Amino acid sequence: MTALPFTLLIWIISTLAGFLGALTGLGGGVVVVPVLTLALGVDIKYAIGASLVSVIATSSGAAAAYVKEGYSNIRIGMLLEIATTIGAVAGAYLAAFTSTHVIAIVFGLVLVQAAYQSLTDAKPEGEAILESDRLGKLLRLGGDYPLEGRRQKYGVRNVPAGFGMMFGAGALSGLLGIGSGAVKVIAMDRAMKIPFKVSTTTSNFMIGVTAAASAGVYLSRGYIDPRVAMPVMLGVLGGAFLGTRVLVKARVRTLKVVFGCVIFVLAVEMIVNGLLGKV
């Protein structure tokens, strides 16, 4: 395959990845890395480097639109980013002493359960906790977001549980070299009882910080190739902006089905790679 068709193919795939990343809060790497490595034969280290650049693009592109629309909760994002950053440092340190194969399998099984819950959740759209618990009120984490032409208020609960899950998300990211957007969305939606649209948009706001730190390491080691990273970044950025337009109008139930399907594919990938010793 010559350079031009290869670049166009990467751009098309990355646009789809950015679209899914903006809708689900996972970042584009969920799609980009396996497609680049398995379908196009790109070395996995260069695929991860391009993926990290794409995650930064997704976070920058989608998060700006979501903040403007009033969906993202920046106060929650800044608080929970502390946990993911500390967890990522701890995970990177433990990587030398822990079998990542077993962790990948366990992580995949957890994601299977999360996908099942997302696909079977029947909570009506618009249902939100109006009162935060004691710690949520103390930290003033509650907020509101646009819903059917009005501002729907919501509260935040179980902050310690969400903070702990974010630490785990960061640790998994450091151990396995993966994005932790899946765990972030699950922590906010399931543990902290934050509305799903707020969870996905706040996750998009958060993932760029961790990815930026990791991308610096990959750049210093020469694993970010502009010939791959540039079409990936441009495609993901365009797809992310398209995803923001769809998310604003989409029903929460539809978003959860998309999220559940993507999470299930990611879970199968993690389990298979763990069993084959590829992580």
Q: Cα(first)–Cα(last) distance of the chain, in Å?
A: 28
Q: For residue 127, is pLDDT > 70?
A: no
Q: Give the H or E element holding residue 14.
A: helix 3-24
Of 143, 166, 158, residue with least CA distance to 66? 143
pLDDT tens, 233-248?
898 888 888 888 888 7
Would you say 49 and 64 are in contact if contact means Cβ atoms under 8 Å apart?
no
Would you say 52 and 233 are in contact if contact means Cβ atoms under 8 Å apart?
no
pLDDT of residue 279: 61
- Residue 138 sits in which domain range? 3-275
Q: For residue 177, is pLDDT > 60?
A: no
- The domain total for the chain is 1
pLDDT of residue 165: 92
CA atoms of 183 and 259, how far apart (whole Å): 12
State the pLDDT confidence band at 53, using cuts at 50, 70 and 90. confident
pLDDT of residue 176: 65
* % of the chain at pLDDT higher than 90: 19
pLDDT of residue 124: 56
- Least confident among 2-11, 93-102, 162-171: 93-102
